Amino acid sequence: MHFRPAVEADLDRLLGCVVDESISWAHPERLLSFLESGNYRYDRTWLAVDGEDILARAVFWGFPGGDKPLAMDCLYVHPSAADRVGLAAELLRHAHAAFGERPAYHVFVSNGWRDDPRAAAAIAWRWEAAGRAGLTEELERLRYEWTADEPVPEPSDRLEFRGDDDDEAFVAAFRRVAEGTLDHYTRQALVTMDPEAQARQDVEEYKSMPGERSWWRLAYAKDGSLVGVALPSANNGGPVVGYLGVVPEHRGHGYVDDLLAEITRFHAERGVQRIAADTDRGNVPMARAFERAGYRNFAIRLVLSAKPEIAADDRDPVNT
Ligand SMILES: CC(C)(COP(=O)(O)OP(=O)(O)OC[C@H]1O[C@@H](n2cnc3c(N)ncnc32)[C@H](O)[C@@H]1OP(=O)(O)O)[C@@H](O)C(=O)NCCC(=O)NCCS
């Protein structure tokens, strides 16, 4: 058994790996198009090989030209492998050592996957293998979609939406909105980063998405106070809700509905047919808002990730 990154000469064998287990995977069409776009790369596709045969394969995703892989998209083990959990874990350990980090595993399953024995079994062994390789944190994100057969919401009669070319205005708003958030990623980031750096990083990440910066809006109440942010955006798959949030002092008044309506209306008026969005299962006020606004929960994204490591410089000198 030998562990190594793939090379171009492996292509036929890579296309021959088949996952038939009711979960998302890097199927041949996806593999070819992402190798072409640069989202997948041979050197970010790790293999366990026995002579000519691929016994296990881990496919990682990143932005084209990005300096590191951002997520694992597919974990495959050939049915003949005696210990698939052990083999997959070993493969992941090799890939992580080469990358110098452990990208999270993102896997898509349908709703009710826990009650579907095939999907549950497909997740179970991958979960165990990922855990042995250090991906011990689990998060379920609900995937929503709005389609153009739903009514287009009316504009808010209590909020005013304004664009702002100054990124600092959004950094300040993101920082306020992150206070007391129920969003796992933001909470996790705030364990290791100070709130301003976290807000700045979020603004940069949203700017790097394919959506336009000019679409971003700040929302104000009639008294001129800032209520929140509404960022319609897009990713490689098409238009997305992007980000929205309400500052703590304005929570509990249903403003989330006004912000989401603004984003939906904005996309709908550009002729968009489908808007996608994700939120954590634990972010109940957000999930409820999607359901009130005619978004349909069509799938689940399961994310298995490593515990965040606190950089030595950021450690609390008193408590560590
Ligand atoms: C999610 C969010 C936009 C909801 O905004 P909102 O306008 O306050 O939502 P609602 O008015 O519908 O709130 C419904 C209930 O949830 C409560 N609630 C809202 N946000 C809450 C939070 N972060 N923590 C605890 N409870 C919260 C409200 O107080 C209200 O409670 P009540 O029914 O007892 O009055 C807001 O919490 C937020 O900005 N969070 C941070 C950013 C975020 O998570 N964005 C979504 C990323 S996908």
Domains of the chain: 2-135 (3.40.630.30), 159-305 (3.40.630.30)
Which spans in 162-302 are helix H?
Answer: 167-177, 184-192, 195-207, 255-269, 284-292
- Probe residue for ligand 1, chosen from 156, 183, 188, 251 as the CB with the greatest number of ligand atoms within 8 Å: 251
Residue 190 alpha carbon to ligand 1 centre in Å: 18
Q: Cα(205) to centroid of ligand 1, in Å?
A: 23
Which phi and psi angles does 197 have, rounded to 5°?
A: -65, -40
Measure the CA–CA gap between 260 and 242, rounded to whole angstroms: 10
Cβ 280 vs Cβ 141: under 8 Å:
yes
User: What CA–CA distances, in Å, run from 9 to 6, 12, 13, 17, 296?
Assistant: 8, 8, 9, 15, 42
Q: What is the value of pTM for the model shown?
A: 0.85
Task: Tell how far the Cα of 277 is from the centroid of ligand 1, in angstroms.
Answer: 17
Q: Whose CA is nearest to atom 1 of ligand 1?
A: 286
Verify whether ligand 1 is closer than 6 Å to residue 155 (CB atom): no
Ligand 1 atom with the shortest distance to the CA of 247: 39
Predicted local confidence at residue 212, as pLDDT: 97
Residue 236 binned pLDDT confidence (cut-offs 50, 70, 90): confident
Q: Is 280 in the pocket of ligand 1 (CB under 6 A)?
A: no
Predicted confidence (pLDDT) per residue in 56-111, tens digit: 999 999 988 889 999 999 999 999 999 999 999 999 999 999 999 999 999 999 98
pLDDT per residue as tens digits for the range 155-198: 999 999 999 999 999 999 999 999 999 999 899 899 999 999 99
Q: Let me know how long the chain is.
A: 320
Q: Residue 154 pLDDT more than 90? A: yes
252 lines ligand 1 (CB under 6 A): yes
